Amino acid sequence: MEHIKVAGLPFEASRIALGTWAIGGWMWGGTEEKDAIATIHHALDLGVNLIDTAPVYGFGQSEEIVGKALEGRRDKVLIATKAGLDWTGRQHRAQLTRARLEQELEDSLRRLKTDVIDIYQVHWPDEATAFDETARTLEGFRRDGKIRAIGVSNFSPEQMDACAPRHPSPPSQPPYNLFEREIENDVLPYAKKHDIVVLAYGALCRGLLSGRITMDTTFDGDDLRNNDPKFLPDRRGQYLAAVGKLDALAKEKFGKPVLALAVRWILDRGDTIALWGARRPSQLDAVKDVMGWRIDDATMKEIDKILDETVKDPVGPEFMAPARTKKVA
């Protein structure tokens, strides 16, 4: 397992982190706690030492499962969670007031069965709350020893600049994968310039890059992929055509499946950590295929060519964003 230093943490983080949105069940067709705990334990056995979660993932269920799974192992694992999403009526929107953050932190500490959170991330920017209020609140948490590092998620460079006076170089968590590369235009260059570690969520693009999705694959219940533009018939075929060609390239060049290529690609883009979402242990078996090799420049160009030739109607991850809040005066 490769590791990377994140400022403020007691030890280096694995460059693959376990993402636990699906473990929470909400928007993923439900969850099974026994399988979820086994998945977390399998991740740890594979060398993963960073678990990423959030209160909104299953409305507390993901954090509770992580807390149960890490009993007796907490000192060897880094926990990243988030704050600032109000899910009243299950219609999530950003809210970063002091009162909201104080309550969320105590709830997260309780559910996670821990005294300190290693990376505490603002889940989405809230333009209705003055960021200085949010920044002072987060700094107070760190000063009190309840959190170790402050991070941001889904922030633009301009919004990260607003953080910089109080929190220089906070780890940033944006969506990033072979099919969703918008951050290459702004967030990734900004992160490189300011020595910011990027935690890339959606590394497998909701499973599209796993190699297991077909045109006939269906999704149960409230699974968000029923509304994801990439999975609708008019686009799914384009993305699957890309997956097929990328899989052939990965096997020819490296003897690896497309899933390993997709994660390795993220790790070779800079100071990055790939968030690998899973809710069954077998979904992590390919972790071993990602380590010990790199994608050369010529193959990077071949990957870009495949994407240009196959995905003619690309779409980003915007459908996942909460309703925007009105900017404070």
CB 206 within 8 A of CB 228: yes
Rounded-to-integer distance, Cα 241 and Cα 68, Å: 40
* pLDDT at residue 122, rounded to an integer: 92
In the chain the domains, ranked by start, together with CATH numbers, are 3-320 (3.20.20.100)
The DSSP code for 28 is T
Q: Per-residue confidence of the chain (329 residues) as pLDDT tens digits?
A: 999 999 999 999 999 999 998 887 555 556 788 999 999 999 999 999 999 999 988 878 999 999 999 999 999 999 999 998 776 665 667 777 888 899 999 999 999 999 999 999 998 777 777 788 888 899 999 999 999 999 998 888 988 887 766 766 789 999 999 999 999 999 999 999 999 999 999 999 999 999 999 999 999 888 888 989 999 988 999 999 999 999 999 999 999 999 999 999 999 999 999 999 998 999 999 999 999 999 999 999 999 999 999 999 999 888 877 666 656 54
Catalytic residues: 57
Structure tokens at 126: 């809230």
User: What 3-state DSSP class applies to 135?
Assistant: helix
Structure tokens at 241: 């055509």
Structure tokens at 179: 């099919």
User: What 3-state DSSP class applies to 52?
Assistant: strand
SS3 content of the chain, % helix, strand, coil (to 5): 45, 15, 40
Identify the CA nearest to 275 among candidates 182, 196, 198, 189. 198
Identify the CA nearest to 263 among candidates 251, 276, 248, 277. 276
Q: Which helix (H) or strand (E) holds 193?
A: helix 187-193
